[in-house]
Amino acid sequence: HPHRWKLRHHPVMRRGKRVMIIILDGWGEQIADEYNGIHVAATPTMDELKKTAPDRWRLLRAHGLSVGLPSWEDMGNSEVGHNALGAGRIFTQGAGLVDVALSSGKLYEGAGFKYIMSAFAKNTVHFMGLLSDGGVHSRSDQLSLLMKGCAERGAKRMRVHILLDGRDVAPGSAPKYIDILEKDLAGIRKMGCDAMIASGGGRMAVTMDRYENDWGVVKKGWDAQVKGEAPHKFPTAGDALKKLKEADAKLDDQYFPPFVIVGSDGKPVGPILDNDAVVSFNFRADRMVMAAKAFDLEKFDKFDRGKMPKIKYAGMLQYDADLDLPKHFLVAPPLIEKTSGEYLVHNYVRTWACSETVKFGHVTFVWNGNRSGMFSSSLEKYVEIPSDKGIAFNEKPEMKAIAIAEKAKEALLSGKFDHVRVNIANGDMVGHTGDPKATVIGCETVDKAVKIMLDAVEEVKGIFLITADHGNAEDMVKRNLKTGKPVVNKQGKTEVLTSHTCNPVPCIIGGPGLAKGVRFRKDLPEAGLANVASTFINFHGFHAPWDYEPTLVEYDEKEK
Ligand code: 3PG
Ligand code: CO
């Protein structure tokens, strides 16, 4: 049987209602105290929603196993969150797939590994990626296993190009991860392999830009990693961190400038040369796609790469299957098919999706199961609002929230679209800077944006669904996970939290178009983001596909 795209009509919720889906990035639920940026912010619209319709407000799980991550200790993130929201099902994600490929040894039998092995005997294998155990883009324990695996299989020379985190893990924790890596490298040297760190830089300044916001970031990485050129040169990564921090005490891990490690002769210890292999060890795509293009594409015009070495490049995962990017990879990515967006198109639901650049791919590419492009150019429209460039978002915490809301309003009022979907990024992007004051301003702006969009829903007698992809802004401090109380360190101070959280997120439904008597079911207390797709498919007038996680709503027969 060919796959059946046609969805059955819903008996209560009728076709033809306009539906607004609002994803508040990084907006979780947490104790209402002074460290909760959302609580501190004036958010009259969101507060009102929570108060007025208790059977249309609930919490959803957005972390750990509920979004396909290896453990309940794993905080949520935008990639796995938007995958679950758009696909209506839970898929084992990159982190878990790499774990299994490494522990089973399957990784070493794959074509991607064979491809890089040709550099083992006479050339260098380079590893490039985010050095932390955040588990969002990469994990340092996976890097460590992979390096050992390569040494055991004959690699004679290795160089590591590190990107400092401080965004998915504590700011200032970079030296800890460098220490662990240096110990690993010492172990590998004992195996007869010449192994060391060759370059580095902060993830927001070097290499890990996303959605083509700023190619200059990728170029800085390229110059340091490939050419061995950077404004700062040090004998070790430990020195680099110490000296750069001494020069600028306010410098956070994530914003470190690029640096190159040089030998006693002053020459870089690990530029990327002809016949070398290069592995980018991040499993998550969004912030490695741009670098992957620079390393993998023959034709490339985003910046001048200089003389392009003939390398064998592989990604830990394939980052974009549609673009076949990169062509070689160590672990196959999750196959996320039959997403809600594709169903909507097959059932003639006209879709409009929008965010600003830094989250644009989240509500399009990631929402659609990591798929580039549209399902139907006649039924869909995707709009990107350019993000501010070259700043940390605490400098402009309003971001583009209001502009996105105005555009969404216009799209809804136009009558040209049935499904209007946005991501409002402030809670997350400003939350990641660890700046509480700016985060509060960001959250207040989010609330204003929501108001604009809900007014539009009211005007067209439509339906809304507001939720979030994971927590962030509700926790501006490191907390004791059991008590929720801030952790106080030896100096008697609380510690800034820049990362996401394991908190649940709100889910709110309503609008004049939502049939009376439709309310949240009580029998799904453990529901998560993957239950959202069935819910909005109902709002469009259909039963969800049979294999989707169950809908969150029921209707009171008496009201029918
Ligand atoms: C980032 O890439 O900015 C963080 O690591 C994760 O944030 P996101 O999952 O919200 O994009
Ligand atoms: Co984030």
Cα separation, 301 vs 293, in Å, equals 10
Dihedral-angle region of residue 272 (phi above 0 means left; psi in -120 to 50 means alpha; beta otherwise): beta
328 within ligand 1 shell (Cβ under 6 A) = no
Element housing 21 (H / E): strand 19-24
Tokens representing 287 are: 């912030």
Q: Which atom of ligand 1 is nearest to the CA of 81?
A: 9
Contact assessment for residue 333 and residue 94, using Cβ atoms and an 8 Å cutoff? yes
Tokens 């797709």 locate to 533
List the residue whose alpha carbon is closest to atom 2 of ligand 1: 287
Q: Extract the residue ranges of the chain whose pLDDT is less than 70.
A: 1-2, 560
CA 423 to ligand 1 center in whole angstroms: 13
Annotated catalytic residue, options 66, 78, 199, 340: 78
pLDDT value at residue 390: 85
Determine the residue of 139, 168, 366 to mutate for testing ligand 1's pocket, defined as the one with the most ligand atoms within 8 A of the Cβ atom: 168
3-state secondary structure 388-420: CCCCCCCCCCCCCHHHHHHHHHHHHHHCCCCEE
Ligand nearest to the CA of 469: 1
Measuring CA to CA, which residue among 477, 471, 358, 540 is closest to residue 66?
471
Q: Look at ligand 1, atom 6, and give the residue with the nearest C-alpha.
A: 77
**What per-residue confidence (pLDDT) applies to 431?**
98
The token pair at 115 is: 């491809």
63 lines ligand 1 (CB under 6 A): no
CA 310 to chain centre: 31
Q: What's the one-letter identity of residue 390? A: G
How much is the pLDDT for 189? Answer: 98
Is residue 66 among the annotated active site residues? no
CA of 241 to the centre of ligand 2 (A): 24
Write down the pLDDT at residue 560.
Answer: 58
Task: State how far the Cα of 121 lies from the Cα of 271, in Å rounded to an integer.
Answer: 18
Q: Is residue 167 lining ligand 1, measured as CB closer than 6 Å?
A: yes
Whether the CB of 29 sits within 6 Å of ligand 1? no
For residue 26, which atom of ligand 1 is closest to its CA? Answer: 10
Q: Is there a contact between 344 and 405 (Cβ–Cβ < 8 Å)?
A: no
Residues with CB under 5 A from ligand 2 (ion): 428
254 lines ligand 1 (CB under 6 A): no
Coil, strand, or helix at residue 519?
Answer: strand
Q: What is the pLDDT of residues 14-30, one digit of tens each?
A: 999 999 999 999 999 99
DSSP classification of residue 236: S
Ligand 1 center–CA 10 separation, angstroms: 36
Between the alpha carbon of residue 386 and those of residues 389, 399, 403, the distances in Å are 8, 10, 10
Q: Tokens 């209707």 map to which residue?
A: 555
Chain centre to alpha carbon of residue 533:
19
| Confidence (pLDDT) at 559 | 73
Of 125, 127, 71, 75, nearest to 99 by C-alpha is 71
- Give the pLDDT score at 146: 98
- pLDDT at residue 2, rounded to an integer: 58
DSSP states of 130-181 as a string?
A: EESS-SSS--HHHHHHHHHHHHHTT--EEEEEEEE-SSSS-TT-HHHHHHHH
Contacts of 153 (CB under 8 A, 6+ apart): 108, 117, 120
Q: What is the model's pLDDT at position 3?
A: 74
- Ligand 2 geometric centre to CA of 254 (Å): 13
Whether 77 lines ligand 1, by a CB cut-off of 6 Å, is yes
Q: What is the pLDDT of residue 1?
A: 53
Q: Ligand 1 within 6 A of 209 CB?
A: no
- What local confidence, expressed as pLDDT, does residue 65 receive? 98
- CA separation for the pair 174, 42 (Å, rounded): 35
* Longest distance between any two alpha carbons in the chain, whole Å: 83
Does ligand 1 come within 6 angstroms of the Cβ of 428?
A: yes
Distance 128 CA to ligand 1 centre (A): 18
Q: Which residue, judged by its Cα, is nearest atom 5 of ligand 1? A: 168
pTM, 2 dp: 0.96
- Each residue of 505-546: pLDDT tens digit? 999 999 999 999 999 999 999 999 999 999 999 999 999 999
Kindly list the structural domains of the chain, giving each domain's residue range(s) and its CATH number in brackets, ordered by start: 20-89+335-559 (3.40.720.10), 95-331 (3.40.1450.10)
Task: State ipTM.
Answer: 0.99
